[in-house]
Structure 1
Amino acid sequence: MKNRSSIFLLTAAFAGAVLLNACTGNSKKSTAENTDSSKTAGVATASAGLTLPEGFNAAILAEDLGGTRHIAVSSQGDIFVKLGKPKDGKGILVLHENNGKAEVKNGFGDYEGTGIYIKNGYLYTSSNEDVYRYKLNDKNEVIDPAKRETVVKGLLNRNQHEAKAIVLDDASNLYVNIGAYSNSCQIKDREKGSLGQPGCPILDSAGGIWQFKADKLNQTYKDGVRYATGLRNVVGMDWNKQNNQLFVMQHGRDALHDIFPDMFDTKQSAILPAECMYAIKKGDNAGWPYIYYDQEQRKKILAPEYGGDGKKDGDPTHKFINPAAAYPGHLAPNGLLFYTGDQFPEKYKNGAFIAFHGSWNRAPEPQAGYFVVFQPFKDGKPDGKWEVFADGFSGSPENTAKGSAVRRPCGLAQGPDGSIYVTDDSKGTIYKISYKK
C-alpha cells in the first residue's frame, strides 16, 4: 500500500511540475489572472486510484458503462448518465447506488450526445442536434422512457465541437452550447497561413450559447435567443445561484505554431491560449475568433488570423468580456459544478469544481490535465488560487505526459448528501467523492 500511495503522490507532483511550467504568477487584482496553482491542497491521500486532499475518499461506483459524459443525480439518489454514443442501444443509463456500488436499473434513448439535467419534474437530455425531456414522477423516476418530448430541434452539427451541453435556470430558461465548427474561423480550417473569414459567418448559428424556453416544445433557432457569442466551444457549464448567473468553460483555440510558425514556437503553442471561465450575461461577446486570452501576458491578444502577432492588444475598445478566471491551455474543461452542499469543508461552499478532460495537442511538450480542480469563489466571483482536487485518472505520470490516459474525467454532479460524482468517458467509470472529518 505504501508503494501505491507513493505512485499517486508522484502523479500529483508531476502534474504540478508540468502546470507550473505552463503558468505564471497570481494576483487578486484580477480574477482572470488566477493561473498560478496546481498542487493538491493539504496532504494528498490515495483512494480508488485517485489522489485527493486529506479527509476525502473516492469510491468507484461503476465501471465499463461506455463513454459516460455528463451526469445528474436525483434527490432520491438515482444516477442518470448520458453516454456519448449508445451502448447496446441505450444512450441514457439509470443507476441506483447500494452499499458502495451502483447497479444499472434501466437504460433508454438510442441517441448519442452529452447533456443531461434534472429540473422542474423533467429529465432533460441532448443529442448533438436536439434537446429532449422526459416526465418524472414524484420519486424522480422517468415515467415512460419511450415517450420523449422534443424541446429544441435542428441545431447545427458539422462533426466538430458538436456536443450540446445544457443547463437550466430557475426562470424556466434552457441554455444550450452550440460549438463552432472551426478552430479559428479560417478561410481554410487549420491550414498553415490561412487567414480568418471576414465577419466570421459561423457566429450566426454557432460559437455561442443559445437560450430557449424550457417548457415549450418543438422550438428551432428562430424561437431561441443568441444569449452570448464569441465562444469557440463550451462543454462545462453551470448556473451559479450565488449571483444568479451562467458560468461557462471555453475550450481555447489550437495550433498557433502549426498555422503561424513564424510567430509562435512549439512551447508557446503548447501552453497558449488559456482555457477560460466566463461569467455570462445576456448579450455578452467573449471575442472568438478575433481574440484569445494569453494567461502569461494577462491580456486579450489579437488572433493571428485577424492581423495579430502574438502581442497586439486584441480589444482596444473593450467590446469583449474578460474571463472570470484563466487556466493553462489545451486542458479541455468538460465539466463545471458549483458546490452547494454541506458535507465538504466550508472553503468549498459555493466554489467551482472543473473536470479537465486532458490535452492531446501539447507535443513536443508533455501533455497535461486529466484531473478535477477546485476554484474558490467569494460573493459569486473567483477568489484566490485554483488547486488540483482529484488527480490520478490517467493512471501514471508517464501516461499523462504521453497523453495516453487510462481514464479522462468529463462530467460532474452533486448528490443529495453533498458528495460529488465524476464520470470518465474512456473506461465508463463513475466515481463518488466524499468527505469525513
Structure 2
Amino acid sequence: MKYLSKFSTVLGIGIALFSFGCEQNQKAEAQNFTTPNSANKKNISTATADVKLDKIKLPENFKIEVWAADIPNAREMTITEEGVVFVGSRQEGNVYAVIDEDGDGKADTKFILAEDLQMPNGVAYKDGDLYVAEVSRIIRFKDILTNLNAPKFEVVYDKYPTETHHGWKFIAFGPDGMLYVPVGAPCNICESEEEIFASITRLDVTSPNPTPEIVAHGVRNSVGFDWDPKTGDMWFTDNGRDMLGDDVPNCELNHISESGQHFGYPYWHEGAVKDPEFGDKGGPASDYVAPAAKMGAHVAPLGMRFYEGSMFPAEYKNRAIIAKHGSWNRSKKSGYVLTSIDVDGSTASGEKDFATGWLDEEAQEAWGRPVDIQEMKDGSLLISDDMAGVIYRVTYSAN
C-alpha cells in the first residue's frame, strides 16, 4: 500500500494498484480473460523477435523472456487487474492492448485500438477507462475492456502545447486520482515565455472542463514517474540537456516534497552545473531543488516504477527500477540498461545495474532500448523495448 505523507496533503494519498501474491513460479496467474475475434485482433502467439536474450545479464536466479513480440515501437505500459496490458507508441502512432489469454506467461493476442495518432506515448488506466496522451491532447476510451473489438475515444482535453520537440508524454494517475502529465521543454535549451513548458502538470479528468495545474517547474523532459509506496511522495526521471559534452550534465532522479517546486532548468543542471547560456538569468543554485540522484550523462532515464511485489528477493521491495533508454549522440554510448536504486524518504542511493546487454560495448551498437517497466500481479516485471518492438518478462526463482 501507499501511505499518507506531507506531500499527500498536496497531491493526495497513495494507493496500491494491485494485490501481489507470493508465487515464485515462472508462469503468470491464469487471466480468465478471453476476447472475441474481430478485425483489429491479431494472434501473436507465434510472433518472433530479433533479440539477443543471451546477451542480457541479470542477477542470479533471474530470467528474461519475450512476453510479447510484434509490438512496434512499444513505449509506456499500463496494466489492468485482469492482466490486460495497454501499450503506447511514439513513432508508430498506434495504441495496443496485449493479452495473455491462456495464462502461460506469454502474450497470445494483440488489439490495435487506434492508429495514426500523434506520438501516443502515454497510457494510463483507471476505473475501466483507458487514457492516452498525444502531443496536445488527452483522449479516453471508455469501458475499454468490453470494447476492445470496437474501440472509440473521446477528447478529455486538447489544449496542451502543439510543439513536438519533447512533446511526447508519459502519464500516470497519482494517489489523489488526478492524471499527471508532463510538458517537456520545446527545445534542447531555452527559456520559454509560456509557464506550462518544462513542467509536470496534473489534470482532473472527472471535470467537464479540466484545466492543467502545474505541480513542478524546471523539468526539462520527464518521461517517467511513480509514487513511493512508503510515503506517497512523487519521484520522476528527467533527461538532461545536450551539447555540453559527453559527461555533462547528468540526467536526474528527482523527488517532489511539495507542489510548485522548481528543479532548475534551464538555469542549472544536475543541481550544480550552471548553464552557459541561461544560467545568469536565474537565481543561485540554492533557489532550486537539486536531484536526489545523478543518473549519468545522456543515459535518457525513462520509465521508473517502485517494485511492490513478492516474487523478487526482499532486497528489491520498494526499490525504484529505472529504464535507461540510452544516449543518442554521445561519442561513446551510455545507458541501454535497467538499474535499481534504494529510496529512503527524500534520498536515493545505492544505484546498481539490474539488466544489461542491449548495447554491444565493443561494437558500440545497440539491438534494443528499454523504455518502461510494469509489474504483473504475480510480481514479475514487464519491460517494453521500442527498438526491438517487444515486451520482455523478468521472473525470479530461487530453485
Tell me if TM exceeds 0.5. yes
Q: In structure 2, what is the Cα distance between the partners aligned to 1:57 and 1:375?
A: 20
The correspondence for 1:94, drawn from 91, 95, 98, is 98
For 1:58-137, list aligned pairs within 5 A: 58-86=64-92, 90-96=94-100, 98=102, 99-110=104-115, 111=117, 112-136=119-143
RMSD over aligned Cα atoms: 2.2
Q: Distance in 1 between matches of 2:92 and 2:269?
A: 35
Query: 398, 404, 425: which is aligned to 2:362?
Result: 398
* Structure 1 residue 162: Cα displacement: 1.1
Alignment of 1:322-361 (within 5 A): 322-361=290-329
1:126-152 deviation per Cα after TM superposition (whole angstroms, max 9, x unaligned): 112211222337xx5556753323222
How far did residue 278 of structure 1 move? 0.9
The Cα offsets for residues 340-392 of structure 1, whole Å up to 9 and x where unpaired, read as 111111111111010000012221xx1111011001123x4444310110111
- Supply the distance in 1 between the matched residues of 2:138 and 2:169 (Cα, whole angstroms): 8
Q: Say which SS state the counterpart of residue 273 (structure 2) adopts.
A: strand
Q: How many residues align?
A: 342
Task: Give unpaired runs (5+ residues) of structure 1.
Answer: 1-45, 186-199, 257-268, 294-298, 309-313
1:172 aligns with 2:177: yes
Confirm or deny: 8 A CA contact 2:238 2:252 kept in the other structure: yes
Aligned with 2:236 (options 239, 248, 251): 248
After superposition, give the CA deviation of every residue in 1:243-290 in whole Å (9 maximum; x if it has no partner): 11221100001101xxxxxxxxxxxx1011111111123101001001
> Deviation of residue 51 (structure 1)?
0.8
**What amino acid is aligned across from residue 178 of structure 1 in structure 2?**
V
Q: Deviations over 1:212-261 (max 9, x none)?
A: 10322453xxx1211111011111112223211221100001101xxxxx
Q: 1:146 to 1:63 in 2, by over 3 A?
A: closer
1:147 is aligned to 2:152: yes
Contact kept in structure 2, 1:335 and 1:354, CA below 8 Å: yes
Q: Show structure 2 runs of 5+ residues with no match.
A: 1-51
Q: What is the aligned partner in structure 2 of residue 13 from structure 1? A: none
Instruction: Report percent identity of matched pairs.
Output: 30
What is residue 350 of structure 2 aligned with on the other side? 385
Q: How does 1:184-199 map to 2 (within 5 A)?
A: 184-185=189-190
Cα distance between partner residues in 1 of 2:146 and 2:312: 28
Choose from 357, 368, 388 the match for 1:407: 368
C-alpha offsets along residues 272-319 of structure 1, whole Å, 9 cap, x if unaligned? Answer: 1111111123101001001112xxxxx5222111356xxxxx863722
Cα 1:315–1:348 change in 2 (3 A) is: farther
Q: 1:270 matched to which residue of 2?
A: 246
CA offset digits 1:312-343 (Å, max 9, x no partner): xx863722112111111100011111111111
Q: Secondary structure at the match of 1:423?
A: strand
**Which residue pairs with 1:291 in the alignment?**
268
Query: In the TM superposition, what is the alpha-carbon distance from 1:72 to its structure 2 partner?
Result: 1.5
1:178 Cα deviation after fit: 0.6
Residue 212 of structure 1 aligns to which amino acid in structure 2?
L
Contact 1:96 1:104 in 2 (8 A): yes
Counterpart in the other structure of 1:304: 276
Query: Structure 1: which amino acid aligns with 2:339?
Result: V
1:71–1:82 CA contact under 8 A, matched in 2? yes
Question: How many Å separate the matches in 2 of 1:368 and 1:301?
Answer: 20
Q: Describe the shift of the 1:159–1:316 C-alpha distance in structure 2 as closer, same or farther (beyond 3 A).
A: closer
**Distance between the aligned counterparts of 2:353 and 2:112, measured in 1?**
33
Distance change in 2, residues 1:317/1:288 (3 Å):
closer
Contact 2:293 2:349 (C-alpha < 8 Å) held by counterparts: no
Seen in structure 2, the aligned counterparts of structure 1 residues 182 and 386 have a Cα distance that, compared at 3 Å, is same
Taking the aligned partners of 2:175 and 2:239, their CA distance within structure 1 comes to 26
Change over 3 Å in CA distance of 1:381–1:120 after alignment to 2:
farther
Shift of 1:97: 5.4
The separation in 2 between residues aligned to 1:290 and 1:224, in whole angstroms, is: 24
Greater mean deviation of Cα atoms: 210-219 or 320-329? 210-219
Structure 2 residue identity aligned to 1:96: D
Structure 2 residue identity aligned to 1:282: S
Q: SS where residue 204 of structure 1 aligns?
A: coil
Per the alignment, in what secondary structure is the counterpart of residue 271 of structure 1? coil
Alignment partners' CA distance in 2, 1:319 and 1:141: 50
2:252 is the alignment partner of 1:279? no
**Residues 22-75 of structure 1: per-residue CA shift (max 9 Å, x gap):** xxxxxxxxxxxxxxxxxxxxxxxx955411000111111122321000112222
Paired amino acid for 1:173: M
TM-score, scaled relative to structure 2: 0.80
Cα distance in structure 2, aligned partners of 1:217 and 1:132? 13
Aligned amino acid, residue 278 of structure 2: Y
- CA distance in structure 1 between the partners assigned to 2:134 and 2:312 by the alignment: 33
How far apart are 1:91 and its partner, in Å? Answer: 2.7
Counterpart Cα distance in 2 of 1:351 and 1:97: 30
Change in 2 beyond 3 A, CA 1:49/1:215: farther
Q: Which amino acid aligns with 2:340?
A: F
